[in-house]
Amino acid sequence: MTSEIYSRQVLPLQDKIFRFSRRLLSSEVTAKDATQDVLLKLWKLRKQLNDIKNIEAYAMTMTKNHCYDLLKSKHSRTLELVHSNYTKPGSSLDSQIEARDEASIVSKLINELPEQQRAIIQLRDVEQFSNQEIEEIMGLNSTSVRVALSRARKKIMNELKKTSAYGIQ
């Protein structure tokens, strides 16, 4: 019964958790590990999942905390902040290369943002959480979420406008 809830509601979140932790940790491998860790934690808590209203937001909060812990404990030591070019299999070669170039520019810009803005951009623009959910996940009030979101978006757009104005790809 409880494991059914887990497989129905938690497992489909795997990709979201992975993308979020990859955004925060900037490393594919560490993000995979983090995803496994979070899923394991949720599995251990599966009996309490019944009482949680928004499992998705709960899982994301857990992911955020886990990633912050990792960053805190490993920041000065071993965690490599490697930027990997995120590719997506499929589609024709041309459009794939083009998409990758553009995607990696945007991805790089996002990764240059402060941690919190990075997280909020990911949650809002990629995963499409509502502001209310983001407030819950990040533990912020509505104004700071909106301000952080706006700052992040403006910064990215400034850079993007610059690169396209100079014609740099």
- Exactly one of 86, 112, 114, 139 binds another protein (CB under 8 A); that residue is 86
Answer for the pair 129, 118: CB distance below 8 angstroms, yes or no. Answer: no
Answer for the pair 149, 124: CB distance below 8 angstroms, yes or no. Answer: yes
Task: Fill in the per-residue mask, 18 to 57: x = in contact with another protein (CB under 8 A), - = not in contact.
Answer: xx------------x--x----------------------
Residue 85 DSSP class: P
- What is the phi/psi pair of residue 86, to 5°? -80, 120
- Exactly one of 41, 106, 111, 136 binds another protein (CB under 8 A); that residue is 106
Q: How far apart are CA 103 and CA 33, in angstroms?
A: 24
Q: How far apart are CA 8 and CA 49, in angstroms?
A: 12
Q: Which two tokens stand for residue 126?
A: 């990629």
- Residue 71, class by beta-carbon neighbours within 10 Å (0-12 exposed, 13-18 middle, 19+ buried)? middle
Q: How far apart are CA 23 and CA 69, in angstroms?
A: 15
Closest distance between another protein and the C-beta of residue 95, in Å? 11
Place of tokens 């909020």: 120
The reply on whether position 161 binds another protein by CB under 8 A is yes
Closer of 76 and 143 to another protein (Cβ): 143
Closest distance between another protein and the C-beta of residue 56, in Å? 14
Closer of 15 and 80 to another protein (Cβ): 15
- Exactly one of 14, 54, 61, 65 binds another protein (CB under 8 A); that residue is 14
The reply on whether position 84 binds another protein by CB under 8 A is no
Closest distance between another protein and the C-beta of residue 2, in Å? 22
What does the binding site for another protein look like in residue numbers (CB under 8 A)?
14-15, 18-19, 32, 35, 86, 88, 99, 102-103, 105-107, 125-128, 130, 145-150, 153-154, 156-157, 160-161, 163-164
